[in-house]
Amino acid sequence: MTATENIRRRIETRISQGAFLASLLGMAKGDSTDVQEKFVIQLSRIAAQVRGIFENNDLIRRLPYDPKIFWPKQRGRAIAFIDAGVASIDLPSTAPVGIRVGSYVVRPGDESKERESFNIELSLVDDLYSTRGHLFDDDFHDLAKLRDTARMTSETAAAYRLAKVQGSADIIMLHGPLVNPVAPYGLDEFPAFGLDACRTFHDEPQWDGDDTDRQFVPIYLGLLERLRNSGKPVFGVVERSVGRDPVVTRRLLAHLCEKKWLKESDRDNILNGIQAYGLNDTALLDVVLGEGEYTSPIPVNRQGPVNKWPEQWKELIRKYPASLTTYLKPSEAVLPFRIETFEDTPNLDDAIDLILHTSRLLPSYGFPVGLDIVDKFAKVPSWMSRGVKGQHQAVLIRKALESGDPRAITFAKRVLAAKGRDWLFRPEA
C-alpha cells in the first residue's frame, strides 16, 4: 500500500467523526442524492490531497506531548490569560455598557502564595460612548456592534497594561482573535468613544483627542501598535471559528503558488472541492492534522477586501498588522483551534508548545485551560445584568409617570413588558 493510500484510508476513517459528521448532515438537507453518496469519497480525496501537499512542502509541524519533561522547564514562568466580560443590558433609553477585563496569571512550579493571581485589569461602566451618562449621542441602534468594539478595545488595552509592567507576564494569551476586522465598525454614523473611556484605554489621564481620534478604528490600531511594540509575546487563541471560508488553507495554498511550488489550476481545483462542501479551516484541518500537529504559521490579513473598507478609514486600515496564524490540533479527540500572533514574535515554536501542553491539562479537553478559568472569572453574571436592567426600568417608569405624558407612559409600559427584543417589534424566528 502506498503512502498516499495510507493517508486516504486514515482520513476516510476519521471523516465520520467531529465536524465532518456535522457537514455531512448539513449536506443531507438540500443537496442532491448523488452528492450525498459521494461525500465521504470526495472528502477523503480532498483531505488526502491537502495533507500530501502540506507534508511535501513542510507546511505541517509536529510537537511531542511530554508533560514530565515540559513542565519542569516552565518553573517560575509567568503565564497570563486575558478575557473580557460584558454586561448585556438591552434598553431603548439609557442602555449602559458594563465591561471588565480579567487576568489570570499562573507560575508553574511555584509553591508559594504568589503561584496564581487574579486581577481586573480594566473596568468601564456607562461612559464608553458618552460623557453625559448616555450610551451614545448619535442615532445608532446596533447595540451588539457597540458592545463588540468595547470588548475588543478593552481586551487589547488590558493586554497592553499587563505587557508593559516589568515581570508581570512572560507570555500573554487572549481569549479570541488578536487582530479583528475593523471595517464593519467604521461606519459614518458609528459613535466615538467618550473621552474618559479613551483615557482609560490608553492608561493616560491627560490624553486628549477629538471625535475622529476617539473613533474605534484609530483607537484600536493605536493599542495594537503599543501592544506589539511592548516586545512581549502575545497570542490570540480562537476556540470556535465561524464562517465557511477556509482562510488559512487558502493562504497556505496561495503561498505555494507564489513560490511556484503549486500550479494555480491545482490550487483552484482543491479550493473548489473544499467550498463545494462548505468546509472551513476547522472542519478540513480536523482530518488533515494529526495529534500534536499544527500548520506552518503564515501571515493572514483579516481586514477583508479593500472595496469594503469605509473611505475615511482606508489609510488607517492599511496600517493594521497581519496576524501570523496557525491551527493546532492538540489530540485526536478534539477539533483544531486557531492561534494568532504578531509576525515578529520570537520563539514561536516554544510558545505553541506551551499552548499545546496547557490544552491537554484536562482529559478530553482541547483548549488552553487558563482561558477557561479567566473566562469564568471575568464573566458578568446574568443576575447582575438583570438587576441593573430592573433598576433602569424602575427609573424609567417613575420618570414617565412624573412627566404625565401619556405617550411616555405607554412607551415605558412597553419596555417593562418586553421579552427579549420585543420592544423593537421584531418577529420571532
pTM exceeding the 0.75 threshold for the entire prediction = yes
The closest alpha carbon to 193, from 126, 262, 253, 241, belongs to 126
Q: HSE of 240 in the Cβ direction (CA atoms, 13 Å)?
A: 2
Max CA pair span of the chain: 86
74-243+291-380 CATH: 3.30.420
The closest alpha carbon to 221, from 237, 209, 239, belongs to 209
Contacts of 93 (CB under 8 A, 6+ apart): 392, 396, 415
Alpha carbons 327 and 335: distance in angstroms, whole number: 10
Element housing 145 (H / E): helix 143-164
Q: What is the CA radius of gyration of the chain?
A: 24
- The grid coordinates listed for 334 are 478534539
Residue 184 is classified by DSSP as G
The answer to whether 423 touches 415, Cβ cutoff 8 Å, is yes
The answer to whether 20 touches 43, Cβ cutoff 8 Å, is yes
Alpha carbons 128 and 200: distance in angstroms, whole number: 10
The answer to whether 97 touches 194, Cβ cutoff 8 Å, is no
pLDDT of residue 100: 85
Contacts of 369 (CB under 8 A, 6+ apart): 358, 359, 361, 362
pLDDT of residue 95: 44
Alpha carbons 40 and 49: distance in angstroms, whole number: 14
Each residue's pLDDT expressed in tens, for the chain with a length of 429 residues: 665 666 666 666 666 555 666 665 665 555 555 555 566 677 778 888 999 999 999 999 999 999 999 999 999 899 999 998 877 655 554 444 678 899 999 999 988 888 999 998 887 766 566 554 444 444 455 777 888 898 999 999 999 999 998 888 999 999 999 999 999 998 887 888 888 889 989 999 899 988 899 999 999 999 999 999 998 999 999 987 777 889 999 999 999 999 999 999 999 999 998 888 788 899 889 889 999 999 999 999 999 899 999 999 999 999 999 999 999 999 988 899 999 999 989 899 999 999 999 999 988 788 999 999 998 888 765 545 555 555 555 665 666 677 776 766 665 565 555 554 443 444 444
Q: Dump the DSSP string for 300-346.
A: E--S--GGGS-GGGHHHHTTSPPEEEEEEE-STTS--EEEEE-TT-S
Q: Which amino acid is at 337?
A: F
Contacts 24+ apart (CB under 8 A), 311-319: 312/186, 312/188, 313/182, 313/183, 313/186, 313/217, 316/217, 316/218, 316/221, 317/182, 317/183, 317/186, 317/217, 319/221
Q: Classify strands 79-87 and 98-106 as parallel, antiparallel or unpaired.
A: antiparallel
Alpha carbons 12 and 28: distance in angstroms, whole number: 18
Strand partners, 182: none
Q: Classify strands 171-175 and 79-87 as parallel, antiparallel or unpaired.
A: parallel
Cα torsion at 26, 28, 31, 32 (round to 10°)? Answer: 160
